[in-house]
Amino acid sequence: MGSTGAGFGFEVRARLGAGAGRTGVIVTPHGRIATPAFVPVGTAAAVKGATPEQMAALGAQALLANAYHLYLRPGADVVEQAGGLGAFMNWAGPTFTDSGGFQVLSLGAGFKKVLAMDTAGLADDQVIAKRSERLAAVDEDGVTFRSHLDGSRHRFTPEVSMGVQHRLGADIIFAFDECTTLMNTRSYQERSVARTQAWAERCLAEHARLTESRAGLPYQALFGVVQGAQFEDLRRGAARGLVRLAAGGREFDGYGIGGALVKENLAAIVGWVCAELPWAKPRHLLGISEVDDLFAAVAAGADTFDCVAPSRLARHGGVYSADGRYNVTRARFARDFGPLDADCDCQTCAGYSRAYVHHLLRSRELLGYTLATIHNERFTVRLVDSMRAAIESGGAAGFDRLRDRFLSRYFGP
């Protein structure tokens, strides 16, 4: 099997007792990421409501952007001409791009990016969300889709996704995969896992070719994505299949864990996958940010996480606090002159009150989105940072104390 590319690496630092959880450091051409770490999402090369300087100040170590959205607007060639994703958005640290595979789900079935769906008693391979139109169709070679912007037709294959992501220039990129819904039947999930495996092999080959043809540019690490829904045999088999792959003298530099999950099974699913993956390579859990999910995923062996929820909730008044999540636009906060969270050290909580943020959001002032976003992103980044510190200073006992204390207060009696 081949070696990791120059400029990228991963080192495990401390283990969470005898379990799969650990701390470590991911090394990229644009900096290091101490893990476990939360990676805020800037879908279109911007975290909605916050500048890159604000994201750095609140402790974000890396940012993730969406290859599909940047492909449509402004175009991967524009980002490449600007010097790559980081230079384009004025972000000096490490960057991730996802493959566009999630759009297979969101365009094909119309679902938002959610962790779990209500699928009781349902199994439908042609499922589509209410009031949605199918904009994408999957075949064995790739995905044909219509732009959500103007209806124009486009085609994504593993090779196209690799080409787009190489031009975007992120430090960590993901293999093109099919993200299914929990309503898909077992037989469809089996076919989808096989399809994602075949696409992963093509991604590896194209990644190796592009890396060689673009010699002199910073190395981009390629992560394979493990699918398989809620089925243990499919998840384990998918992970083993990706580990076995190698093309052009290279193997995957790390692994992503994707797909819609039943929330109650999250820890088990991450555990199944991590048990099959190499200990010496990083694991990224896609689309997770709820506090109990983060604790469960860290304990099960995930190293990094991304999610749009902190900024999306902020724009609708949703605020994280040590005492639970609440909506600051409710009438009872109109005269509350305390901070969003008395235990928070972010810029918003240091200088602005609930009453003021309440006023801004009710008035649809853009500053309200910024202040709430800064707080929610800091809250999430800081929480995962505290898990890393607890493991390194107190091992399993320290992590357990942090988890029990935090969750009992966050969710209440």
Given the residues 171, 253, 293, 306, select the one marked as catalytic: 306
Please list the alpha-helical segments (H only) found in 245-353: 266-276, 291-300, 309-315, 347-351
Catalytic site residue 292?
Answer: no
Angle at Cα 406 formed by Cα 403 and Cα 408, nearest 5°? Answer: 100
What three-state secondary structure class fits 405?
A: helix
Given the residues 77, 98, 118, 336, select the one marked as catalytic: 98
The pLDDT tens digits for 281-334 are 999 999 999 999 999 999 999 999 999 999 999 999 999 999 999 999 999 999
What three-state secondary structure class fits 44?
A: coil
The pLDDT tens digits for 35-50 are 999 999 999 999 999 9
In the chain, where the domains are located: 32-306, 318-398
Kind of pairing, strands 143-146 and 153-156? antiparallel
The pLDDT tens digits for 143-185 are 998 888 898 999 999 999 999 999 999 999 999 999 888 888 8
pLDDT at 6: 78
Instruction: Map 193-234 to HEC letters.
Output: HHHHHHHHHHHHHHHHHHHHHCCCCCCCEEEEEECCCCCHHH
Q: Which CATH superfamily is domain 32-306 in?
A: Queuine tRNA-ribosyltransferase-like (3.20.20.105)
pLDDT at 105: 56
User: What is the Cα Rg of the chain in Å?
Assistant: 21
Q: String of b and e for 160-183 (b: at least 16 CB within 10 Å)?
A: bbbbbbbbbbbbbbbbbbbbbbbb
For residues 53 and 134, which has the higher predicted lDDT (pLDDT)? 53
Catalytic site residue 341?
Answer: no
pTM: 0.93
Please list the alpha-helical segments (H only) found in 8-127: 52-57, 67-72, 76-81, 85-89, 102-109
The pLDDT tens digits for 221-255 are 999 999 999 999 999 999 999 999 987 788 999 99
Rounded to whole angstroms, how far apart are CA atoms 200 and 282? Answer: 17
Range 68-84 average pLDDT? 97
